[in-house]
Amino acid sequence: MKYRFLCPQNKIHMSNTPQRAIASWYNNIELGQEYLLQEDYAQALYSIGSAFEISEVLCTCKQIDSDFPVKWLTQSAIILAQCFIHCGDDKQGQAILVFTKQKLEREQRFKNTVRQQIRLLEIANRLSMSEGVH
């Protein structure tokens, strides 16, 4: 992926404070969805991209014994892919979905949830390729 939304220090901070990372994920996803409703795709891209990277951090956080980060990662990836497509970067949108699917395939915890989320990503990827939303 060619985009980065969080600086390395923020990623470290998020991994060391999972409760703050969860709150930040919720804030970023809500803000990003508000921007999407306003069709401000550039701002949505930043907020949803941040949420996506936070969910990546949360998936690796062993202090969280729940499958929610896996679901948050999938949700963030699908919305982020939509943002890229709306911004005219279909390839990056599809790349996010493929990257997330590959990441989930390596996930060893919560196998049933991971399988469900991978199916959602595959559906989203097929839709993004067939609709060509702009």
> pTM for the complete prediction?
0.86
Q: At CA 51, angle to CA 48 and CA 53, rounded to 5? A: 110
Fold assignment, 8-131: 1.25.40
**Residue pLDDT, tens place only, 76-111:** 999 999 999 999 999 999 999 999 999 888 877 778
CA gap 123, 60 in Å, rounded: 25
**Model confidence over 42-80: pLDDT tens digits?**
999 999 999 999 999 998 888 887 888 999 999 999 999
Helices (H) and strands (E) in the chain, counts: 6, 0
CA 130 – CA 102 distance, rounded (Å): 21
Mean local confidence (pLDDT), 9-15: 92
Spatial distance between the Cα atoms of 128 and 98, rounded to a whole number of angstroms: 12
Nearest to 92 by CA among 55, 35, 52, 36: 52
